[in-house]
Amino acid sequence: MKLYFCSECGAYDFGNADLCLECQAPIPKDSWADVSDEDVTQLDYIEDFDPIEGLPTWEYEVIKLMGHANDQGPNDDDILEQTRIYNEHMLNRMGDKGWELVNIVPMGDKDGPRYGVFKRAWLDEFEE
């Protein structure tokens, strides 16, 4: 089933609403995922956890990294160098904005593109 995610507050909904029911932010048209009943059960389970006062909360981003060795000729140094420069730039931009790279993972196909998993801490959750 299709689940739509709000990029502002993290709420999710089954309907294709233009605005988030929780925070009224516009929901991007491509911000959805096809999920199973098991996935929804897991999300509901997480929803029941409360944050703990005094501890940071974490925000995560998953961003596709450019390039993969199998896409290119094995000796194409120019393309490999451009890929390196792009990824280095992207990682540094994320670092500038407070995001720490915590993992690099494939999604599904282990030979497919790699995704960087970034996190950053929120310490002021309870001062709003």
- Taking CA atoms, 116 is separated from 32, 84, 88, 122, 128, in Å, by 19, 14, 12, 20, 30
Query: Cβ 28 to Zn ion, closest distance in Å?
Result: 11
**Which CB, 26 or 112, lies closer to Zn ion?**
26
H or E, element range at 61: strand 57-64
Residues 103 and 27: their CA atoms lie apart, in Å, by 27
9 binds Zn ion (CB under 5 A): yes
**Which CB, 23 or 33, lies closer to Zn ion?**
23
8 binds Zn ion (CB under 5 A): yes
Q: Residue 63 phi/psi, 5° resolution?
A: -125, 135
Single-letter residue type at 37: D
Single-letter residue type at 125: E
6 binds Zn ion (CB under 5 A): yes
SS3 63: strand
**Which CB, 10 or 112, lies closer to Zn ion?**
10
Query: Cβ 22 to Zn ion, closest distance in Å?
Result: 4
Name the β-bridge partners of 79.
none
47 binds Zn ion (CB under 5 A): no
Query: Cβ 32 to Zn ion, closest distance in Å?
Result: 14
23 binds Zn ion (CB under 5 A): yes
Binding region for Zn ion (CB under 5 A): 6, 8-9, 11, 20, 22-23, 25
